[in-house]
Amino acid sequence: MQIKSIKVKQCLSLLKFSIVARRDRLNNHNHQLYFTFYELYKLPYSMNFKTFKKHLPVFTRSLFYVAVVAIIVLLLPREGEFNYQYELNRPWAHGLLTAPFDFEIYKSQTTIDREQSTLLRNYAPYFEIDSAKQAAYFLSLEEYLSANKHLSFFLRQSFNKIYSRGIISAVLFDSLKNQNITKINIISPNRNVESYSLTDIYTPGTAYTQVLKDAPSYLDNADFHLYIGENLTYDSIASGDAKHELLKNYSETSGLVQRGEKIIERGEILTPELYNILNSLKRESDRYNYSATQLAWTLTGEIIIIAIIVLLFFLYLNLFRTELFNSFRHLFFLFLQILLIVAMTAIVTRLSLLHYFIVPFTLLPVIIRVFYDSRTALFAHICTVMMVSFMTDNQFQFVVIQITAGMTAVSSLKDLTQRSQLIQTALYVFITCLLMFLASELIVEKSIENLDYQSILYFALSSVFLLLASNLIYVFEKLFGLVSAITLVELTNVNQDPLLAFSEKAPGSFQHSLQVSNLAAEAARKIGANSLLVRTGALYHDIGKLNNPEFFIENQMGGTNPLMELDSVEAAQRIICHVADGVRIARHYHLPEQIINFIATHHGNNKTKFFYNSFINANPGVKPDDALFSYPGPLPNSKETAILMMADAVEARMRALTKFTAESINNHVEEMVEMQIADGQFRNAPINFRDVELVKQVFKDKLKSIYHTRIEYPSVKVM
């Protein structure tokens, strides 16, 4: 009954670790996951489902490829959008420009304002007498005069005079004067029109002053100003018609440029005339309606170019970075970086608010380099720069500057282990962009006097934006389950909570992990694997021994071994469960999946040989159930996890040696590694025989230096 219970637990553990297994190598792990379910539950597996599953990765990647190409093509500028940068009285920095279609040359706004002002010199706006307002003022005046009859004659005469000329507001009067209008037309209630000089028209203030000027002395204290107000209102319809009549024959264009006609060629100075022609072309390009055929051919060309560039990146990943190509998560992350840069450039160029040099193009190779390798980062950067160049006006200059900047960024980040390194990288990128820009400008300008210093400011801002990579790296780590060198360095700090607990509760196992990390890191460095990753994984690989440290001999300090009091099956299970415990502890401390992968794979599906052999010896003639004595796996699936398995086994068994000589160490390393190879532990790992031989040699050299013999100190002889 006890054996049956343990078997069920073992099966559940096998299922759990198969699901937890890293999915970086999609083909191998998907098949392993399937076979685990098949062995446990004997599920039926039809030929149709097999066929569908076989072609599913191809279908999803093809669909993803089409989506990426479509998004980039949509972000590219359509033919007719004007993407040239130019300035008045500076040389034209681009190639020969001819008119893509017929367009009129628009006059500058200054010219339009000057010419229209000349035509409107005789313009006179229209005002209408507001009889109702005027009658209201006179009615109020009569009420005032009824109480002041001695003022009646003079005020009636004065008010008739000023109201007959007309009164407008002071604000409107000043506005007309500022527009150099000297005459206005007044429409009487009977619709007759009379023309008056603006100086003959009153405002309430000037009307009151005029009355006081002509008034006798006894009117000095009279408050008749309360009955003076505007009686003229602006007639916008009549005034607009009059202005339109004067301007109806005025043209805002001054000529025509025919399709194919030369506009400007490289090096020509942009005179006001050429500058105006370019402005006219830009204005017309934004609203030019191409035929459906022209748009179709333009779109076809863009699709072909983008499809080829994206396909080349797909092929690169498939041929040289298979683990990335087989993982849709990594594939999506890589193309997300490309799409973000293309989208930022599209926004900047379409808004025309800033120069495209302000976009931090080197952000892409920096982020990809942090998570992957220099070759992938540079290849992705070159592909992105080629696609983005279609949005720029000086494509040659842009490509040269950005590719060299990308090369500088990748070269300066061999290993990003400190966030402060980004400052150094940003400085190198700025210097590279500055030098390449100045050199290309000198070739065109032939002088340093006409350099575009504003672009230097854009390069500086772009380099500053590169510092955002630190925050973006953290965000992408959480979103995509990636791990950067910065995070690995932080995890190797022994003051981390899990490592502190490990060193206190299981000091022997912790020391073993330190030794394994040193061995594995040196071996990884030798064969070109990720030494920092394997060092970090080695530090945590046995952290599951925290739960029951007394079951492991390195923590027993020479005392009794509690496993000896258990039967072989139960003792084997107690040892095996440290892998599952390690995964649980790692998840509790939110360790990255890459580190958890080391914990889950460091024993593969090896047997606990001590208890397996003990069971056979204690039960002669009884065939043991191998599953009860085997670790659940999965097998190592990378060079780094394979190195850790070798280092763990070699270092652990070294303690069983009774004599440390060069020969015994060599034999020990050879025996342990060859045993793992014979058991098929590395069949899912991309490690070759040459790598294995180099790893073994590193182990031998390191172990000989650790376990070297010392001379015996002589004792003092008693005389």
State whether 422 and 491 are in the same domain: no
State whether 150 and 224 are in the same domain: yes
pLDDT, the chain, mean: 82
Residue 716 lies in a domain: no
User: pLDDT higher for 328 or 349?
Assistant: 328
State whether 376 and 511 are in the same domain: no
Percent of the chain whose pLDDT exceeds 70: 83
Most confident of 120-124, 268-272, 638-642: 638-642
Residue 24, pLDDT > 70, answer no
Q: What is the mean pLDDT of residues 109-127?
A: 84
Q: What is the mean pLDDT of residues 89-98?
A: 76
| Confidence band, pLDDT 50/70/90 cuts, at residue 4 | very low
Q: What is the mean pLDDT of residues 85-96?
A: 75
Domain end: 479, 495, 524, which one?
Answer: 479
Q: What is the mean pLDDT of residues 99-122?
A: 82
| Ramachandran angles phi, psi of 264, nearest 5° | -160, 155
State whether 333 and 218 are in the same domain: no
Predicted structure pTM score = 0.65
Domain end: 67, 86, 105, which one?
Answer: 67
CB 335 within 8 A of CB 358: no
Residue 50's pLDDT is 63
Distance CA 99, CA 526 (A): 61
State whether 473 and 568 are in the same domain: no
Report pLDDT digits (tens) over 178-192. 888 888 888 888 888
Residue 20's pLDDT is 40
State whether 120 and 54 are in the same domain: no
| CB atoms inside a 10 Å sphere around CB 578 | 26
Length of the chain: 719
Residue 557's pLDDT is 73
Residue 709, pLDDT > 80, answer no
State whether 463 and 587 are in the same domain: no
Distance CA 689, CA 693 (A): 6
Distance CA 381, CA 406 (A): 7
Distance CA 217, CA 209 (A): 14
Residue 350 lies in a domain: yes
Residue 331, pLDDT > 60, answer yes
Residue 478's pLDDT is 87
Residue whose token pair is 């983005």? 388
State whether 463 and 511 are in the same domain: no
Residue 394 lies in a domain: yes
Supply the range of the domain harboring residue 13. Answer: 2-67
State whether 451 and 525 are in the same domain: no
Residue 32's pLDDT is 43
Distance CA 147, CA 531 (A): 108
CB 570 within 8 A of CB 563: no
Q: What is the mean pLDDT of residues 552-579?
A: 83
Residue 193's pLDDT is 84
Domain end: 447, 463, 479, which one?
Answer: 479
Residue 695's pLDDT is 95
In this predicted structure, which of 296-310, 358-372, 611-625 has the lowest mean pLDDT?
611-625
Domains contained in the chain, number: 4
- Residue 717 structure tokens: 């002889």
Residue 325 lies in a domain: yes
Residue 257 lies in a domain: no
- Cβ neighbours for 595, distance < 8 A, ≥ 6 positions apart: 483, 491, 536, 537, 540, 586
Distance CA 236, CA 428 (A): 63
Residue 23, pLDDT > 70, answer no
Name the 3-class secondary structure at 41.
helix
Residue 1's pLDDT is 39
Gap between the terminal Cα atoms of the chain: 72
Residue 76 lies in a domain: no
Q: What is the mean pLDDT of residues 491-514?
A: 91
- Residue 393 structure tokens: 């006006």
- Rounded alpha-carbon distances, angstroms, from residue 462 to 70, 147, 354, 715: 27, 81, 12, 72
| Confidence band, pLDDT 50/70/90 cuts, at residue 28 | very low
State whether 541 and 461 are in the same domain: no
Residue 39, pLDDT > 70, answer no
CATH assignment of the domain containing 522? 1.10.3210
Distance CA 17, CA 36 (A): 10
Residue 34's pLDDT is 40
- Residue 609 structure tokens: 């040989």
Report pLDDT digits (tens) over 191-233. 888 888 888 888 888 887 877 776 666 555 556 667 788 888 8
- Residue 533 structure tokens: 């990753």
CB 375 within 8 A of CB 418: no
CB 521 within 8 A of CB 538: yes
Most confident of 70-84, 123-137, 138-152, 483-497: 483-497
Residue 259's pLDDT is 83
Residue 13 lies in a domain: yes
Report pLDDT digits (tens) over 590-645. 999 999 999 999 999 998 888 888 888 888 888 888 888 999 989 999 999 999 99
State whether 429 and 447 are in the same domain: yes
State whether 441 and 328 are in the same domain: yes
Residue 316 lies in a domain: yes
Residue 37, pLDDT > 60, answer no
| Confidence band, pLDDT 50/70/90 cuts, at residue 38 | very low
